[in-house]
Amino acid sequence: MEEKYMVNDILENTKAGIKDYEGAILECANMELRQTVQNIRNSSENFQYELFKLAECKGYYSPAEPAKPDEIAKVHNECM
């Protein structure tokens, strides 16, 4: 398997795992366990960002084009 596909697969799986941690945090009544899961989530977020920077640097991942001001204004007006 090419490195590009492995990196993108790890990125997607890490993002999915972060969402699972967030759900667990919201449901956790035990503060010690909640803090532990928050720490794991934070580490996962840091790992995901570092891997994203690597993928972007190598050309494996291209973020979407920034929204145009008129597009932002349209969405803003629809939400108000």
pLDDT digits (tens, 9 = 90+) for 9-61: 999 999 999 999 999 999 999 999 999 999 999 999 999 999 999 999 999 97
CA 38 to chain centre: 15
Task: Look at residue 65 in the predicted model and tell me its pLDDT.
Answer: 87
User: What distance in Å separates the CA atoms of residue 10 and residue 7, rounded to the nearest whole number?
Assistant: 5
What is the average pLDDT across 58-66?
A: 85
* pLDDT band of 64, cuts 50, 70, 90: confident
pTM: 0.74
CB 25 within 8 A of CB 38: yes
Name which residue leads in pLDDT, 80 or 5. Answer: 5
Closest-CA residue to 10 (of 66, 80, 60, 57): 60
Question: 78: Cβ–Cβ under 8 A, 6 or more apart, which residues?
Answer: none
